[in-house]
Amino acid sequence: MAAVSLIAVLAFGAILVISYWHAIVGSIKKRQLLWQLPSVPYTAYPIIGHVYLFPKKTNEFFKFVADTLADITHNLKLRMAVVWLGPLPCIFVVHPDAAEVILRSSKHMEKTFLYRFMHPWLGTGLLTSSGEKWKTRRKLITPSFHFNILQDFLDVMNEQAGKMSTKIAEQFKPGENVDLGRKVTLCALDIICETAMGQTVNAQEDTENEYVKCLHRLVAPNQIFLCFCDLFPDNSLSNVCEKPTIQFFSNTL
């Protein structure tokens, strides 16, 4: 009986290896290429990678990223470096020549798997799609960003940017470190709603707006890990944000 069970397990394992052989070989080749790239000068442990270096407080995360980039650029004199988020590689590109090679490429257009967690919330449009679908959407929207059209929106952009600058000047002292992430998000939301939808949202004034709260939850660094709660659909981040999103667009369109 034990021999039969062992044979069954071995047969099942063999079937899995054969079925995913190309994926396994491809993954091994990618890992070999990644190990040839320079890494930050800290030990990447199995399973956790460099995650142990991350600050415990969310508001310190962007300072950590900025310090890491400065270290790669000025101290290590590198054009790029790998930071391991657990088993996942994150390549920090810090030199314009290296960035140009990537940005000019028409082949490497697949987005990271993290975008998939937003599919139930945002669908597969320009922001979240890849490949041919992204190219088609990009061509359709390109005329909307013609220079002459954007000129008509300068007044709105300047007005909202002025509001953001005023709020920053009121809330922070000279020389103090400022996390501009939330400020720029609200400013951009005001601009896109007024220019593209013709509606004034006042996101910079009404920071308690449910839709604004959802945006903050989705872009917060610690939510990268909480996105895995999408394995439980009733409590997923996408579903939590779905109702405010529908309500928001119903009121503005």
Q: 80 and 25, same structural domain?
A: no
Same domain, 27 and 77: no
Does one domain contain both 17 and 52? Answer: no
Provide the pLDDT confidence category of residue 131 given band limits of 50, 70 and 90.
confident
* Domain annotation covers residue 63: yes
Whether 101 is in a domain gets the answer yes
pLDDT tens track for 174-194? 777 777 777 888 898 889 888
Query: Among 78, 108, 138, which residue terminates a domain?
Result: 108
List all residues 6 or more positions away from 40 whose beta carbon is below 8 Å from its beta carbon. Answer: 50, 68, 71, 72, 76, 81, 82, 83
Looking at the fold, whether 104 and 42 belong to one and the same domain comes out as yes
Q: Does the residue 135 lie in any domain?
A: no
The confidence score (pLDDT) of residue 162 equals: 92
Domain presence at residue 55: yes
Q: Where residue 246 falls among pLDDT bands split at 50, 70, 90?
A: low
Residue with tokens 């996105």: 227
Find out whether 118 and 238 touch, Cβ atoms under 8 Å.
yes
| 194 part of a folded domain | no
Co-location of 91 and 71 in the same domain: yes
Last residue of a domain, one of 90, 108, 126: 108
Nearest CA to 93 out of 119, 101, 107 is that of 101
Same domain, 52 and 11: no
Q: Do 85 and 69 lie in a common domain?
A: yes
Residues 2 and 56 in one domain: no
The total of other beta-carbon atoms located within 10 Å of residue 46's CB is: 8
Residue 8 and residue 56 in one domain: no
Q: Give the residue-averaged pLDDT of 206-235.
A: 58
CB atoms within 10 A of CB 129: 20
Query: Range of 11's domain?
Result: 1-36
Looking at the structure, tell me whether residues 58 and 73 fall in a common domain. Answer: yes
What's the total number of domains in the chain?
2
Q: Categorize the per-residue pLDDT at 216 as very low, low, confident or very high, splitting at 50, 70 and 90.
A: low
> Is residue 220 situated within a structural domain?
no
Q: Would you tell me how many other CB atoms lie within 10 Å of the CB of residue 215?
A: 19
* Phi, psi torsion values for 72, nearest 5 degrees: -65, -40
